[in-house]
A = this chain, B = another copy of it.
């Protein structure tokens, strides 16, 4: 059985997901919608999908699943609409920047017995999966401490930052999700520190560019997260998990596996410097997983609940910075 998919939004990430659908054996891209006609036509020309309106897709009998790649402020409405229309929905994170809106949206999905997968592509990165498998296989004993290092190669435009929901909701949210994935129990409290070190314009926009966070679980496990918008050497994405019997670390991806030695020493190339090249395989695996779940009814690997929990952690972090205190996650939920 082939899953027939439509893509809502034909921008950068929409094109990534269209290519992913094209590479999955049991899926077919049948339609694409975008208010920008050129963007929609580009997807049509490259992947063979028909250009339709969102309304038409909602009414299409030949579409079983949609991938929502529209601007964030449309996500919750589209999720509700397409779940109501009986379509399985994959939505890029976040469901919404407001935790309250996320809650009403998820309640709608649940009432409709809908299928909603929220995109956290890092969980599908081959190296991070190998790390998770090592933990699950008992290689490091019981998980005790996580160290997540996520550094962007450079800040996005300030205009993007203004609409992004802020540093914790836009950037750290991926680390919050990875923390929940790997800690083995829910986070109970959040301590955070944040500042602006790279560009005063970011402060002027009311946001941060540098942050560190400590998450603690009920049994006392910890996760530290180190984030900055600026790493001169590329897109720095590392996970280290310390357990009772050992540790496991996932390393970075360099642009080439060569090393030069000269009178100044040993030199390797910088990191991949773009999230789409860094996570190419992850994006494809994520969509393949969604298609698999739609086709077989298997449990979704990442859900609306995961999206909500990561957002709640982001809000807790914001309060911790503002009030200088440890914030219980329970306060958010």
Contacts and interface: CB of A to CB of B under 8 A. Distances in A.
A130 B255 CA distance: 9
B270 A259 contact: no
B267 A265 contact: yes
Contacts of A226: 145, 147, 222, 224, 242
Contact residues on A (Cβ < 8 Å of other chain), bracket: 35 or more
A233 B259 CA distance: 12
What is the count of identical protomers in the complex? 4
B260 A270 contact: no
A85 interface: no
Given A251-B258, A257-B127, A260-B139, A197 B221 contact: yes
Given A145-B226, A269-B130, A325-B325, A262 B250 contact: no
A228 interface: yes
A256 interface: yes
A230 B258 contact: no
Contacts of A127: 256-258
Interface of A: 126-127, 130-131, 134, 139-141, 144-145, 147, 149, 151, 189, 191, 193, 195-198, 210-212, 214, 216, 219-222, 224, 226, 228, 230-233, 242, 244-270, 324-326
